[in-house]
Structure 1
């Protein structure tokens, strides 16, 4: 629990992203943890462990993953903020994007300078809206490495205003709608204003995967498919959500034994990605999900056993067999799941 309190403090201070969490999952040092920031250990629950040897094998691709060293299995986890979407423009395409973001559990902010269109975005389910000129609105939005920016305004003048403000913000993705002619005008105009062509070439434009989309809804599907593609190429980031941490540390459950469950490796198709977490309480309450069905039910029993015995367990779940088929699961992969009692 001390580790989770430290993590919660980091998240609340806004300094959790780009930290790395290392957890030893097998061997004599099971449950030893460390937080690494810029190559330095900033927290550990075990000063005796040789953390420097682990720092040397941290994956360069920044994907959370299970590695082996000296016969131990070690989980290296990259912290990221929760993904979010910022949409510039609240027209028909944006309305479909909002609905898809809701389905994908992606918080979405919509910007437009027309109150009628902003109200449409609110009614469609936008989490946040800003009714101001684009430049002013974007001054108040800080991007980070987990922010997807979508530019779908009503004209290339507004596209250029938005891209000029966004291009120097940290981001996971910038996409801009428009024909080759319209896009060319925007990019050339910004290059003339001093923005480097290298930066401009990183913008996804024309926006969306090429699926022959024609209607606003189809274009929104193409855009969100591209965002999913970009996001999933960086899968395996840590998912210590606010909901998870708040639920575990709530005063009302302080005295109830708990276990933390994390997917640490995945082969083939699986319902959730590496890094997905849930908490299991001894009273049967679960916070979060690792995919539901027979997998979750089985892991729940492992969690109860882990709490009773006071030991962590690394278990493998095979979803390729008949049991998974009978559950109606479309997945056919194998996952490793780490279950640790929270003390």
Structure 2
């Protein structure tokens, strides 16, 4: 936000980062990764447009912008006049969120989160956590490289198994437990397939079905 009374870290103790900035000056605080999700919900449509245009010049996996159909249409028209292509503008999810009849701020937040989950699960981008991205720990990196059926996590999901535990996740449950146990003895790059369907799924305690191929990569 550009107002100190709203962008106040003391009022937002659960936030990892809080910035009070003019909306013309936000590029240096945005992440550089490709699989980023942006939710634009400023105090006015002019500011929403400024932020959305800044994101359009970057890589991202999701860009959602709040606003009614009428105001979003006017915003998009202004963006076209400024030179943004129809293809660029079509990547903006606006009005933001899935259509669940949301009315309250809490319900709108749920609709936005649901839309982000939907987009995440349509893609094959990495789900590397911030902790895993920044870690200096050694261990065995376990990556889902193929997914068949309704296995819990998508391709690109990562988990680092270290001597002290794990960083990240490939879906939890007994599958993750089995991969953790096997990773402890892995000394070279290798792929293994795990069947989560029918009778074999019962062995792993899974009921979701499908198969996962896991790539084990020792990391120093």
Q: TM-score, normalised by structure 1?
A: 0.54
Which of residues 195, 199, 215 in structure 1 aligns to 2:84?
Answer: 195
Distance change (3 Å), C-alpha of 1:131 and 1:331:
same
Aligned to 1:118: 7
Deviation at 1:131, TM superposition (A): 0.8
Structure-2 separation of matches of 1:230 and 1:146: 11
Structure-2 separation of matches of 1:326 and 1:124: 43
Deviation at 1:299, TM superposition (A): 2.5
The count of residues paired between Structure 1 and Structure 2 equals 219
The alignment status of 1:270 with 2:151, answered yes or no, reads yes
Stretches of structure 1 that go unaligned for 5 or more consecutive residues are: 1-111, 249-257
1:213-252 paired onto structure 2 within 5 Å: 213-237=102-126, 239=128, 243=132, 245-248=135-138
| 1:113 alignment partner, SS class | coil
Structure showing the higher strand proportion among its residues: 1
Stretches of structure 2 that go unaligned for 5 or more consecutive residues are: none
Deviation at 1:144, TM superposition (A): 4.9
Structure-2 separation of matches of 1:144 and 1:314: 27
Aligned to 2:74: 185
1:1-343 paired onto structure 2 within 5 Å: 112-119=1-8, 123=12, 125-138=14-27, 140-141=29-30, 144-237=33-126, 239=128, 243=132, 245-248=135-138, 258-281=139-162, 283=163, 285-307=165-187, 312-321=189-198, 329=206, 331-341=208-218
Deviation at 1:323, TM superposition (A): 7.6
- Asked if structure 1 preserves the Cα contact closer than 8 Å seen for 2:175 and 2:204, the reply is no
Q: TM-score, normalised by structure 2?
A: 0.78
Distance change (3 Å), C-alpha of 1:117 and 1:268:
same
Q: Deviations over 1:206-258 (max 9, x none)?
A: 1112222111121112212222222222225374966365111xxxxxxxxx4
Distance change (3 Å), C-alpha of 1:124 and 1:263:
same
Q: Deviations over 1:176-232 (max 9, x none)?
A: 111122112222223333433443233221111222211112111221222222222
Deviation at 1:149, TM superposition (A): 2.2
Q: Deviations over 1:143-202 (max 9, x none)?
A: 553222222122223223333433323322222111122112222223333433443233
Structure-1 separation of matches of 2:56 and 2:181: 49
Cα RMSD for the two superposed structures: 3.3
Q: Which moved more, 1:205-214 or 1:259-268?
A: 259-268
Structure-2 separation of matches of 1:167 and 1:339: 36
- Asked if structure 2 preserves the Cα contact closer than 8 Å seen for 1:142 and 1:169, the reply is no
